[in-house]
Each structure stands twice: as C-alpha cells, then as structure tokens.
Structure 1
Amino acid sequence: MKIPVLKTLLCCAILGLGGCASSQVDPSQYSGFLKDYSRLKPAESATGAPVMRWIDPDLKPGQYTRIYIEPSQFYPKPQPTAVISAQTLQSITRYFDTALRRELGKDLTLAQGPGPDTLVVRPAITAVSTSTEGLKPYEVIPIALVAAAVNTAAGGRDQNVEIATEAAFLDADSNRVLAQVVRKGAGKPLENDKTQLALEDVKPVLDGWATDMRMSFEKLRAAK
C-alpha cells in the first residue's frame, strides 16, 4: 500500500503542512471552513507535497514577531464511529495544538491571544472517505480521518487512513486573511475494518505539518 512567520511559513507550512500527502485535495472536497477558495492555486510545500494555497501579495513577514495559534478544530463537527472514537478525535486536536506550539515556539514568541505584531493561525481538520480510493466528499463523517471499509475473501484488508487540513493565517489587528492552504496526508494503515483508529496512527502527519511550518519560517528568516 502506497501510501511551504509568514511568507514561507505561510507558503510551505500552511503551506507546507508536511506529512505523507498522497495527492492534492480536489475542490469538491473543500469543507467550507475557509471563507474564500477562489484564490487557491496548486503549489508544493517545503517538503514537496502538493497543496492548494493563496498568499497575499502585500504580505510583509517582517512585521510579525509573535504568533497566536487558535485551538485546532474539526470542521464540520464530527460524529464518532465504531472505528474513530470521540476520545481519539479529542486526542488528535489536542496533539495537533501541542505540535504546533512546540515547533512554532522555537522561532516565534507564542502569544496567549491576538495582539500587536501577531500572526494568527486558524487550523482545522476536514473531509472524509471510507474508500480505498482515497478522500471522497463526506461519505460517512465530516472529518478527514479515513478507514476504508473494504474486505477481501482472505479476511480483513489493510484500511487506508487519510487526514486533511484547511488553515488560514490572519493579521491579528485587522483580521485580514494573509494566506490560506488546503492539503492532506496519509496516516498508518489499519489492519482491517474492525481496527480502532488511534492517535499514534496519525501522529507522524501532525508532526510533519507542524515541523514544516517551522522549517518554512526558518528559510524565510535566513533569506532576510
């Protein structure tokens, strides 16, 4: 089974939200979390993963010295299933928040809320499918955690796990959107369609997204 703060932070990280993305998110899979999808264009993240993104051409990265990371959320609100429990859903958003603070806090001052010279990160986890073919628009539950429901005659077949994100970066003073991104990645396959999804199955993707944000910011800072 097979499974790019600020312009680069926004370019790659949001933009680069890393992990093992299998392909670009199709417009039919957009969740509605972002206010305007019309400006998104195909691009590559810092790690070479395909993303859909937009960056304000008037963005001035140097004016931001602090970053406020809003609590990540599922959008739309998910419903637990036999494979994806409410506890797992909660652990995923909590861990994503921790990973973002851990990585971005290495280069930017973490703010407790919006304020002067502050960049706001607004992340969400979105979309879902129950097919081995990949993400499909909201087939079962409205989140990007996927457990394929296909079995073989020999028994349970490995179940694909995919996770997608949509994120916006805003100026804290004006609330102006500076950048947006949509992307997805692949988690650890589940043994079969009865196997419970666990945080460990998607941790590498969440870590990759957060690390990619930091790497993108560092590249931008080094170029200045």
Structure 2
Amino acid sequence: MKTMLLNGLFCAVVALAGCTSSRVTPDEYSGFLQDYGRLQPAESVSGKEVMRWIDPQAKLSGYTRIYIEPSQLYPAPKPTAVISAQTLQMITRYFDSALKREFGKDLQLVEAPGPNTIVMRAAITGVSTRNEGLKPYEVLPLWLMAAAVNTAAGGRDQTVEIATEAQFLDGASHALLAQVVRKSDAQELENDRQPLTLDNVKSALDGWAVDMRQGYEKLAGSTAGRR
C-alpha cells in the first residue's frame, strides 16, 4: 500500500509539473504554412501566447478588402467516437463565419483575390481531448486513490484542446504578409465518452477571430503613415 501511495504521489507531481504552455511547439506544426522558420514567440492582443511572423515592410493600412478562403482541416482528420466528422466540419464552418464577422468590421469582404486585398488562409490543425490534470488537493494520498480509480474508469474531466494555423497573403502578388500558429483550451467534457460538440469550442474560435481582427487593426494603424 505504501508503495502504491508513493507511486501515486510521484505521478501526481509529474502531472502537475507537466502543465504545458498554450504556445504551439515545433513538433506540433502541421505543415500547413509555407515557412515555419520565421515564427517567433509573441502575444496576441488579448495576451495569449502565439507563434507569429509579420513582414516588417508590409503596409497593412493600404488594404481595403479581404478574401477569407474556406478554412481547412489539416492534416486530414481521423474522426473518433468522441470527435465526429460532422462536428469537425461544423467547427470549420463556424470559424469561417467568425472570421468574416470580425474582419468585416474593418475590411470589405470579397469572393476572390485581387488588388488591395488580403487573402486569409486558415486551418484547424488539431482537435483533441485528454484527461484533466490532477488538481493540487488531489496530490494528498487519500485523494490519489480515488483519482486513479476515476481515471481508470474514464470518469475524469476531459480537457479539450484546439489549434489553428493561418497565413495572410497579398491578393495580387501572393507575397506572404503574416502568419500565426496558436492553440487554446476549450470547454471541458465530463468524461472520455461525452461527444464533443461545436458549443464546446465556440468560445475558442470566437476568441481567435477577435484577436486576429484586433491584431490587424493595431498593425494597420501603426503602418498608416508608412510610405
């Protein structure tokens, strides 16, 4: 029994120490973007960790229109009993509508690339669930046994993680203007059998769209006087 408790305590400490950053690491890159070598750690307007690159010579204030390509699921997803193909398609459609809603506040939405147009290409590059990490109070030996049994039975809350990669191009020259990689936690599932729904990730998708639009506003304002 003592050995089991010590092993449980060790696993709990590892779980707590393993709380990961929300920033995407290179081993999580999907291959969707043109050039990952330019990416640098940064913060979104809302203070979230991202990997990002922006062309320092780009004059974003010179663009008046935006063409948002239908977002992709990249690489091709493998639906599961928890994350269905239908839900994945609903996620991309909702992401598109969120991006159009936000960027439509600043730019004219168009149906094709062209002059004075930003082309946005985005992909959902990961949707996953994992056991929620042990809370501090669960490190206590009496709680460890209950936590271990609950995990084995599939009863622990499931943390939902969703990731995106996006690039922004000049609509006439196709030159790369900016690119960003980020991930977010979404609404938790009660256990590993509860199906994921669009409602579980809506807040993350809305947050991305708002951050991207506000980031554009900030950059466009800073380049307004650039020749």
Q: What letter is aligned with 1:93?
A: T
> Contact conserved, 1:55 with 1:179, CA < 8 A, in 2?
yes
Q: What letter is aligned with 2:111?
A: Q
SS of the counterpart of 2:37? coil
> Contact conserved, 1:55 with 1:178, CA < 8 A, in 2?
yes
2:23 maps to 1:52:
no
- Structure 2 residues not aligned, in runs of 5+: 1-19, 134-148
Alignment-derived partner of residue 40 in structure 2? 41
Q: What letter is aligned with 1:211?
A: V
Q: Which has the higher helix share?
A: 2
Please give the alpha-carbon distance, in whole angstroms, between the structure 2 residues aligned to 1:109 and 1:86: 32
Alignment-derived partner of residue 167 in structure 2? 168
Q: Tell me whether 35-44 or 207-216 shows the greater mean CA deviation.
A: 207-216
Show the 5 A alignment for 1:6-85: 23-85=22-84
Q: What letter is aligned with 1:65?
A: T
Alignment-derived partner of residue 120 in structure 1? 119
CA offset digits 1:102-148 (Å, max 9, x no partner): 111011100111011000110001135554479xxxxxxxxxxxxxx
SS of the counterpart of 1:178? strand
Q: CA deviation at 1:57?
A: 1.4
Alignment-derived partner of residue 201 in structure 1? 200
2:95 maps to 1:96:
yes
SS of the counterpart of 1:156? coil
Show the 5 A alignment for 1:123-138: 123-127=122-126, 129-132=128-131
RMSD between superposed Cα atoms in Å: 2.1
Please give the alpha-carbon distance, in whole angstroms, between the structure 1 residues aligned to 2:167 and 2:151: 41
Q: What letter is aligned with 1:126?
A: T
Instruction: State the TM-score, normalizing by the size of structure 1.
Output: 0.78
Residues 170 and 133 of structure 1: is their aligned pair in 2 closer, same or farther, counting only changes over 3 Å? farther
CA offset digits 1:17-36 (Å, max 9, x no partner): xxxx9521110110000111
Q: CA deviation at 1:217?
A: 3.1
Q: Which has the larger radius of gyration?
A: 2
Q: CA deviation at 1:220?
A: 4.1
Q: What letter is aligned with 1:37?
A: Y
Residues 31 and 172 of structure 1: is their aligned pair in 2 closer, same or farther, counting only changes over 3 Å? same
Residues 77 and 192 of structure 1: is their aligned pair in 2 closer, same or farther, counting only changes over 3 Å? same
> Contact conserved, 2:33 with 2:165, CA < 8 A, in 1?
yes
> Contact conserved, 1:22 with 1:186, CA < 8 A, in 2?
no
Q: CA deviation at 1:211?
A: 1.2
Instruction: State the TM-score, normalizing by the size of structure 2.
Output: 0.77
SS of the counterpart of 1:162? strand
Please give the alpha-carbon distance, in whole angstroms, between the structure 2 residues aligned to 1:214 and 1:127: 22
Please give the alpha-carbon distance, in whole angstroms, between the structure 2 residues aligned to 1:220 and 1:56: 11
Please give the alpha-carbon distance, in whole angstroms, between the structure 2 residues aligned to 1:38 and 1:215: 25
Please give the alpha-carbon distance, in whole angstroms, between the structure 1 residues aligned to 2:131 and 2:93: 27
Q: CA deviation at 1:63?
A: 1.7
Paired positions, count: 189
Alignment-derived partner of residue 86 in structure 2? 87
SS of the counterpart of 1:161? strand
SS of the counterpart of 2:166? strand
Between the aligned residues of both structures, percent identity stands at 67
